[in-house]
Structure 1
Amino acid sequence: MNIFRLHVLFAFFSSAPVFAQQDASIDRNEDKFALCPVYTVSPSELSLQPQGHVKVKSDQAQIVSKQLAEFKGDVSIYSDRATIRAEEAKVSENGRKLQATGNVRYLDTDLSVTSDAISVDSINHSLNIENSQYQLNGQPGHGAAQQIQLDRARGLILSDVSFTTCPLDSPDWHIEASEISIEKGTAWGQAKSTRFYVGDVPIFYLPYFAFPVSNQRQTGLLFPKISSSSMTGFDYEQPFYWNIAPNYDFTISPRIMTRRGIQLKNEYRYLTEMSYGQINLEYLPDDREFANNTDRWFYRFYHQGKLTGNWFINADINGVSDDNYIIDLGSDFYNRADTHLYRSASMDYFSENLIMDFRVLDFVTLGESEDSYRALPEFRLAYFSELGSLFEFSLNSELAYFDSTALDTPEALRWHLAPTLTLPYRKVWGEFSAEASLLNTYYQQKNIEQTDLAEEVTRTLGQFRLFGALYFEREQQWLDKSSTMTLEPKLQYLYTSYEDQTMIGRYDTTPLLVDVDGLFRGQEFTGLDRISDNNQFTLGLTSRILDESDREQFVISVGQIFYLEENKVLAAVKDQNRSALAAELDWKLGSRWYTHTDVQIATKTDKVDRSSTSIEYRKDEKSLIQLSHRYIRQLSGEKIDQIGMLISWPITETLHWVGRTYRDRSLERSVESYFGLQYESCCWAVRLVGQRHLSNRVTADGVRTTEEFDSGISLQFIFKGMGSSKSSRSMLEEGMFGYRQPYSLN
């Protein structure tokens, strides 16, 4: 074997471009599809050389010094970037021109090409490949080209070319073009006279289109969304993405609805070194479903940013034209069951010992509901410090002004100051703390002429809390496996003094739900307008079973409050000597079964007040069955008793279906039914989704209807490699209820 070293680096050993199209958007956290088998060039196949050197191997070689070199038999040409293999190769013009023939193969880190002949001209910086088959390295994309030309001036040109991401033996789809060109230094490719095929059937023709050839965000059309429902009729949405700059972009999405008209949806996103955010604007002129052709709109402004040092600023501001906008037209940010849209802005400060935030908080109320008070503005401060080696001091304070859009509604200025002194003791086997607080609140109230409220109220309460917990462990066998069992008893004593609070309005205060963790918080309400008097013990017990890697396999918790005195604050919910018994259970039954249950049992009736139960069988990431039940004895005058079932299961390797149904046992009717079917090969997918659910529309007098249903069907088709879309898992997340894992094990 002869070895001939050339000291001229051929022009064809330049980096090859990538042909697969990327998603033209900022990362949208989409799941990956199952990939087709891909070819990968190994380093041993390339045998890359030091920069500036080329090595040639062959069975025979004939060399005329500085003029001509001919190689025959198993010819291999190596450089620092690529390899060429052929039956014969000829080098002329003192190494400036190369021609290889006979079963030619070109390899680099991005591309593999087989062809009849390759010619390279380093004088004109050009490469020409005849009658070739190409394969992207590390990606499923491949195809054929009658001619491939690469030169420094024009870039890359492929004539009579095809492309697909499907396997070689089953090209379910492919494209053919008379020419594809990629100019050097650009992230765009251009295709002329392009035909799209499904199987061997042409389905689409474009005389010209451009496509991205890198993973950079590029301007262009995204995949459309096609659906149909009783609310909108046939629904077609076509997003167009504009990559304005590396740190901000704009997406405009015209949406055609046969029952309502043409809606325009816009999304502007920005990113700086100190902040990020987005602005969403949606507008539907002359809604056809309204007799007076009402204009409808929605807007959202979201921002999170750092000002300087430890200062941050945040905003979440939303607005909507009417109560039924989200119900009729849908939303990417709110659910049709939501009753409020948020409007908030804040400036926050964080340090090791001090937290401050200054904010304004407003709401947009949808339908008939209790008027929510706005905090315009609200200032909160929390300070923490250690006092010597034994004590900790904290200070929580708040200054807020509450008003409402409703006429003749009380308004208030509230100032709250709560210093707390704590004696903590923490060890690995347990903890103990003694805590004393002084709760001072001042109110200045207006618009109280028609109420029993006082113009000025000062309330001072003392609170004392003792808390202790022990952590016991022992090694044991659990389901024939070594494990650790813990026993964690908890005890708390809480005393809070009493003052009459009937002269104070309720501005941000509602009763809190009782669960195991909530038994130890020492407060029955949100906000500060009602602070219940307490003289009580709280007992709790938690037990865990941990595997050899300290992962939780089983957790059970129970707790209850025992009242030593009757409650005097009238709004408090305790009317017995004990609270409801609260319990929670999380259990990983083997490697595939999971269950979660939480329940509250009333002391007075020994009946279940609230419960939630779910059990799930999970064979793998794609295969699961979940059963759930939710029960609430009293919620806004109604009983909630709902059962649900969800199944996500692959029928074959390429066919997957998701079904979900929820039924209200009290009303004897379905709440939501959902069905999704997806066929997915490694290079294309089609998804069909149908659903029927309560519409929750708001009537003219503000009452939500509970009898009307909305039904719809949607179809989505995806060519993989020509864009992206979520996998079948997204069908679990869609719909009114969506999917939630039934356990909270670590």
Structure 2
Amino acid sequence: MKIAYTALLAVILMSSSNLHAQLTCEVQSFDFELPKIADGSIEVRSNAAQIIKDEIAVFEGNVLITTPDSIIQADSANLRENGQRLQASGNVTYTDELLHVESLGIEANAEIELLQLQSTEYQIKGVNGRGGADLLSISRERGVILENVSFTTCPKGDEDWKIQASEISIRKGMPFGEAKHTRFYVGGVPVFYLPYFAFPITTERQTGFLFPKIGSTGSTGIEYEQPFYWNIAPNVDTTISTRYMSNRGLQLKNEWRYLTNNHYGELQLEYLAKDTDIGNDDPRYFYRFSHKGKLSENWSVTADVSDISDNNYIVDLRSDYYNQADTHLYRQAGLSYFSEDLDFNVFVRDFTTIGNFDDNYRALPEAKLAYSTSLNEWFDFDIKSELAYFDNRLEQRPDALRFHIEPSLSIPYQRAWGELLAEVSVMHTYYDQDIEGMPNTNLEETVERTLGQARFYGSLIFEREQTIGDTDYLVTFEPKTQYLYTSYQDQSNIGFYDTTELLTTFSNLFRGQEFTGLDRINDNNQFTLGATTRIIDDNNREMLVASIGQIFYVESAQLQASQRQDNRSSIAAELDWRINRNWFVHSDFQVGNDTNKVERSSFSTEYRLSENKLIQINHRYIRELSNEKIDQFGVSASWPMGDNWHWVGRYYRDFERSRTTESFMGIEYESCCWALRLTVQRNLATRFNNDGFRDVNEFDSGIALQFVFKGMGSPSNKVDMLRQGLFGYRQPFVLN
């Protein structure tokens, strides 16, 4: 009967798990405890017994048969051929450690190892599911066969949905089972039919069809995706899927996976020969290859390569790996070496840009080497170096070779009360720029830049026990200061290859660099002052972390790309506050020194009672970004409306343009064994026009209806609905 349990559990709950929902049907359970009997023996108890030696033993009234691994109860039972054959009838129950079966009758033949139960109702221990079968047969020759079998997670007498199959069989020596003529019923009405499918009954992967995916969206229409799994080898497999979309046609999808002792990787392929919604014959495709491997104890390799056929592929057809807000796809591969003192890596980096953006530079290749060692008790020596060749497809942009080396000598001093650091560095960079055919450029073919830098950093940690209300906390105050000097050299003769300006956030105040990359290194003569305070409870959990800081310039910067309007930077501050177990606040902002006005800010507050009961309010403000002002407000909520109804919603408003950028609402009715979800959404369209620019004035609307068989779906909850769309739900706080 353990085989029968495996069969039932595999076919009915294959590739599924119960939804993490608040409302679930009561899991039926049963007690099973075997009394102690002699090994291999069978014990029979009854109100009356009649035994004819070597022929038959008849038991009547409250018959209890105990075997080494099961208990059978019946009104009457016959044992023949010295217990080799058993027949029981009248309120028959069979129970083992995994399964409880009620039946009209049971027959067993130990000689041919055959067990049959008629008109059964079964119950799986610890699983919120039950069902029935006209005949449950287990034999040595045929294996396990269930005829006219059903399954549901709904309570008895209230079967809102169920699955019915004419036959489920698990043949002897086969690693998979077979189901024939499977029907899905909702409210007694058949809604889906599968004539045949196979399912695994062991932990080993088996070739066969997987459970189909069915859905509907406004972009693709009605969808049906049928995956087929091919177990090529113990360490290689592939899943081939056909995806039919009523609005767009038939798409082929393929995923390959491989695994060795030191390497693993995946290859995803998607191909749509003709999109009937677009009306042209151009095929649409997506591919992604990823690999991670270990060559030895210190050497490793990685690769991540993706591409799409057109700008709107992800928007129209969706992707499991990217979302519609992404602006580029990675195309890179690298080799790395790591040891205690030496790190080395070489990468080839490229990007597939989405939309009409200036083509990014490719690094073909980019090699970095870093070495660090302690000279003695006081001094540390570090050296960083980089060699990169930058290539661009645009003729008006030069290719360039860049070599950078940066030795530094430091005196670090760290204690529980704080940290002191003195560091001096020399930064030398060499450029060889291909400016042929660019007569009006300020760039020079060969450039050498050598800069010196001195940095002095110190921080202290003050702690005290503090009682706030009736609770004891540890309160810290952590002032920190830094002096930074960097020499100046004109860099207008160098192009921009991997360099952009950094935002003035609190964490960036102490970096001493206003740019990413190496193409611009700003001259500095400045002090940075900042402080952080923390409130920590008895469980070493941060209740509040607040930081504020500012840079004070002793001299104005001479670098053209780093001209400053004042002798001080913007004030940068951050706050994370766990007000109590339910309320959280996160905020960061920068206030301009010359205007005393907020330049950038973000604010999020969340009230959370449980995983599915929350309200979140957000606001984002940027005074100027690409000559535009951003002033957006949003609210997200998930809240129950009684025992069976749940509501989620999201609303975002652009105050600058006086319009709604996204609105979303979902409502769900949930019983203990099924759920019905209705979602309605309207948001800014993110499709690209023919010129490669996103349309910021068009809106998309959509409505979706989803029926969920609880116990037959992937793990989910109400908050998952909030994660849909442009501004999906995210927790705002980063406290430990």
TM norm structure 2? 0.93
Give the one of 209, 213, 216 matched to 1:220: 209
The whole-number CA distance in structure 1 between the counterparts of 2:196 and 2:493 is 75
- Matched residue of 2:610: which SS? coil
Equivalent residue for 1:149?
A: 137
Please give the per-residue CA displacement for 1:416-467, whole angstroms capped at 9, x wherever unaligned.
Answer: 1112222111112211111221111111111254311122111111111111
The whole-number CA distance in structure 2 between the counterparts of 1:615 and 1:220 is 46
- Residue 51 of structure 1: how far off its partner (Å): 5.3
Equivalent residue for 2:541?
A: 551
1:517 aligns with 2:504: no
Give the one of 699, 705, 711 matched to 1:709: 699
The whole-number CA distance in structure 2 between the counterparts of 1:375 and 1:444 is 14
- Residue 495 of structure 1: how far off its partner (Å): 1.3
The whole-number CA distance in structure 1 between the counterparts of 2:516 and 2:475 is 36
Task: Answer with 505-514 or 364-373: which moved more.
Answer: 364-373
Structure 1 residues 205 and 236: CA distance shift in structure 2, 3 A = closer
- Matched residue of 1:517: which SS? helix
Task: Answer with 486-495 or 713-722: which moved more.
Answer: 713-722
- Matched residue of 1:619: which SS? strand
Whichever residue aligns with residue 456 of structure 2, its letter is: L
The whole-number CA distance in structure 1 between the counterparts of 2:684 and 2:100 is 55
Give the one of 678, 697, 716 matched to 1:726: 716
Equivalent residue for 1:607?
A: 597
- Residue 228 of structure 1: how far off its partner (Å): 3.1
1:444 aligns with 2:439: no
- Residue 375 of structure 1: how far off its partner (Å): 0.3
Q: Check the 8 A contact 2:371/2:384 in 1, yes or no.
A: yes
Structure 1 residues 614 and 395: CA distance shift in structure 2, 3 A = same
Structure 1 residues 16 and 256: CA distance shift in structure 2, 3 A = closer
Equivalent residue for 1:361?
A: 349
Residues 313-462 of structure 1 aligned to structure 2 (within 5 Å)? 313-447=301-435, 449-450=438-439, 451-462=441-452
Task: Answer with 452-461 or 645-654: which moved more.
Answer: 645-654
Equivalent residue for 2:266?
A: 278
Give the one of 576, 591, 596 matched to 2:581: 591
Equivalent residue for 1:46?
A: 34
Whichever residue aligns with residue 453 of structure 2, its letter is: Q
Structure 1 residues 406 and 728: CA distance shift in structure 2, 3 A = same
Equivalent residue for 1:644?
A: 634
Equivalent residue for 1:7?
A: none
- Residue 256 of structure 1: how far off its partner (Å): 3.7
Equivalent residue for 1:6?
A: none
Structure 1 residues 150 and 25: CA distance shift in structure 2, 3 A = closer
The whole-number CA distance in structure 2 between the counterparts of 1:483 and 1:65 is 82
- Matched residue of 2:315: which SS? helix
- Residue 333 of structure 1: how far off its partner (Å): 2.4
Equivalent residue for 2:121?
A: 133
Equivalent residue for 1:5?
A: none
Equivalent residue for 1:176?
A: 164
- Residue 129 of structure 1: how far off its partner (Å): 1.4
- Matched residue of 1:377: which SS? strand
Please give the per-residue CA displacement for 1:21-52, whole angstroms capped at 9, x wherever unaligned.
Answer: 4799999x996456533234555x23476753
Task: Answer with 429-438 or 475-484: which moved more.
Answer: 475-484
Whichever residue aligns with residue 370 of structure 2, its letter is: A
Equivalent residue for 2:520?
A: 530
Equivalent residue for 1:239?
A: 226
Q: Check the 8 A contact 1:67/1:94 in 2, yes or no.
A: yes
The whole-number CA distance in structure 2 between the counterparts of 1:326 and 1:207 is 34
- Residue 678 of structure 1: how far off its partner (Å): 3.0
The whole-number CA distance in structure 2 between the counterparts of 1:153 and 1:563 is 88
Q: Check the 8 A contact 2:7/2:170 in 1, yes or no.
A: no
Q: Check the 8 A contact 1:222/1:723 in 2, yes or no.
A: no
Structure 1 residues 490 and 185: CA distance shift in structure 2, 3 A = farther
Q: Check the 8 A contact 2:293/2:300 in 1, yes or no.
A: yes
Residues 676-691 of structure 1 aligned to structure 2 (within 5 Å)? 676-691=666-681
Please give the per-residue CA displacement for 1:560-595, whole angstroms capped at 9, x wherever unaligned.
Answer: 111111111111153311111001111112211111
Equivalent residue for 1:9?
A: none
The whole-number CA distance in structure 2 between the counterparts of 1:103 and 1:206 is 34
The whole-number CA distance in structure 1 between the counterparts of 2:455 and 2:121 is 78
The whole-number CA distance in structure 2 between the counterparts of 1:427 and 1:122 is 76
Please give the per-residue CA displacement for 1:92-125, whole angstroms capped at 9, x wherever unaligned.
Answer: 3223222333332211222111223322211011
Whichever residue aligns with residue 238 of structure 1, its letter is: E
- Matched residue of 2:154: which SS? coil
- Matched residue of 2:465: which SS? strand
Task: Answer with 710-719 or 510-519: which moved more.
Answer: 710-719
Whichever residue aligns with residue 244 of structure 1, its letter is: N
Whichever residue aligns with residue 27 of structure 2, its letter is: V
Equivalent residue for 1:3?
A: none
1:745 aligns with 2:732: no
The whole-number CA distance in structure 2 between the counterparts of 1:222 and 1:326 is 24
Structure 1 unaligned blocks of 5 or more:
1-11
- Residue 685 of structure 1: how far off its partner (Å): 3.0
Whichever residue aligns with residue 104 of structure 2, its letter is: D
- Residue 56 of structure 1: how far off its partner (Å): 4.1
The whole-number CA distance in structure 2 between the counterparts of 1:725 and 1:473 is 44
Whichever residue aligns with residue 690 of structure 2, its letter is: A
Structure 1 residues 300 and 116: CA distance shift in structure 2, 3 A = same
User: How many percent of aligned residue pairs carry the same amino acid?
Assistant: 50
The whole-number CA distance in structure 1 between the counterparts of 2:216 and 2:76 is 58
Give the one of 621, 624, 627 matched to 2:614: 624
- Residue 209 of structure 1: how far off its partner (Å): 4.2
- Matched residue of 1:39: which SS? coil
The whole-number CA distance in structure 2 between the counterparts of 1:698 and 1:14 is 56
Please give the per-residue CA displacement for 1:215-261, whole angstroms capped at 9, x wherever unaligned.
Answer: 665532434242232x44x2414131314245444334434444433
Whichever residue aligns with residue 168 of structure 1, its letter is: K
The whole-number CA distance in structure 1 between the counterparts of 2:271 and 2:118 is 53
Structure 1 residues 283 and 23: CA distance shift in structure 2, 3 A = farther
**How many residues are matched?**
731
Equivalent residue for 1:668?
A: 658
Whichever residue aligns with residue 213 of structure 2, its letter is: P
Please give the per-residue CA displacement for 1:507-545, whole angstroms capped at 9, x wherever unaligned.
Answer: 100001111111111111000011111111111111111
The whole-number CA distance in structure 2 between the counterparts of 1:670 and 1:610 is 21
The whole-number CA distance in structure 1 between the counterparts of 2:469 and 2:14 is 49
Equivalent residue for 2:485?
A: 495
Whichever residue aligns with residue 265 of structure 1, its letter is: K
Task: Answer with 520-529 or 58-67: which moved more.
Answer: 58-67
Task: Answer with 703-712 or 510-519: which moved more.
Answer: 703-712
The whole-number CA distance in structure 1 between the counterparts of 2:279 and 2:154 is 51
- Residue 719 of structure 1: how far off its partner (Å): 2.7
Question: Over aligned residue pairs, what C-alpha RMSD do you find?
Answer: 2.7
Structure 1 residues 215 and 629: CA distance shift in structure 2, 3 A = farther
Give the one of 97, 111, 116 matched to 2:85: 97
The whole-number CA distance in structure 2 between the counterparts of 1:50 and 1:671 is 74
Whichever residue aligns with residue 675 of structure 1, its letter is: M
Structure 2 unaligned blocks of 5 or more:
none
- Matched residue of 1:688: which SS? strand
Task: Answer with 430-439 or 330-339: which moved more.
Answer: 330-339
TM norm structure 1? 0.92
- Matched residue of 1:20: which SS? helix
Structure 1 residues 432 and 63: CA distance shift in structure 2, 3 A = farther
Task: Answer with 253-262 or 486-495: which moved more.
Answer: 253-262
